[in-house]
Amino acid sequence: MYHDTIAAIATPPGEGGLAIVRLSGPEAGEIATRIFRRGRRLRAMTLDELDSHRLYYGAIVDPASERQLDEVMLARMRPPRTFTREEVVEISCHGGLLPVREVLNLCLRSGARAAEPGEFTLRAFLNGRIDLSQAEAVAGVVGARTERSLELAVDELRGRLTTRLKPARDALVELMAYLDAAADFPDDEIPGIELDPALERARSALAAVVAGARSGLLYREGVQVAIVGRPNVGKSSLLNALLGSERAIVTEIAGTTRDVIAETINLRGLPATLLDTAGITETEDVVERIGVERSRQALAASGIVLFVLDGSQPLERGDRDVAALLRERLSGDAVVVAVNKADLSAVHNGDPSSLVDPRWPTVSISTRTGHGLPELTALLHEQIVGRSESAAEPALVTIRQLDALRRALGAVEDAQAARLAAVPLDLLAVDVRTALYAVGEITGEHISEAVLDEIFSRFCIGK
- pLDDT, one tens digit per residue, over 338-358 is 888 887 765 544 455 555 677
Rounded distance, CA 175 to CA 153, Å? Answer: 32
Same domain, 231 and 190: no
Number of domain units in the chain? 3
Q: According to the model, what pLDDT value does residue 258 have?
A: 40
Which CATH number covers residue 158?
A: 1.20.120.430
| Residue 260 reports pLDDT greater than 60 | no
Shared domain for 347 and 417, answered yes or no, is no
Residue 127, domain member (yes or no): no
pLDDT of residue 341: 85
- The answer to whether residue 265 is domain-embedded is yes
Which residues, in sequence order, are bridge partners of residue 309?
Answer: 339
CA 14: distance to chain centroid? 24
| DSSP 8-state class, residue 334 | G
CATH number at residue 308: 3.40.50.300
pLDDT at 447: 75
Query: Do 226 and 365 belong to one domain?
Result: yes
Q: Which of 389, 416, 436 is the last residue of a domain?
A: 389
Structural domain span for residue 445? 138-216+398-456
Q: Are residues 98 and 193 both part of a single domain?
A: no
Considering the domain architecture, whether residues 200 and 336 belong to the same structural domain is answered as no
Find the CATH number of the domain harbouring 62: 3.30.1360.120
Write down which residue in 364, 389, 414 finishes a domain. 389
329 shares its domain with 188: no
Dihedral over alpha carbons 61, 62, 64, 67 (to 10 degrees):
-70
The predicted structure's pLDDT at residue 190: 55
Q: Are residues 364 and 231 in the same domain?
A: yes
- Residue 82 belongs to a domain: yes
Measuring CA to CA, how many Å separate 377 from each of 225, 304, 331? 11, 12, 20
Task: Give the pLDDT confidence of 55-95 residue by residue, as tens digits.
Answer: 999 999 999 999 999 999 999 999 999 999 999 999 999 98
Structural domain contains residue 126? no
Same domain? For 287 and 411 the reply is no
Q: Do 17 and 70 sit in the same domain of this protein?
A: yes
Same domain for 264 and 280? yes
What's the rounded Cα separation, in Å, for the pair 274 and 243? Answer: 9
| HSE value, Cβ hemisphere, 13 Å, CA-based, for 305 | 26
On whether the CB atoms of residues 189 and 420 are closer than 8 A, the answer is no
pLDDT score at 75: 96
Residues 38 and 103 in one domain: yes
Closest CA to 238 of 369, 384, 145: 369
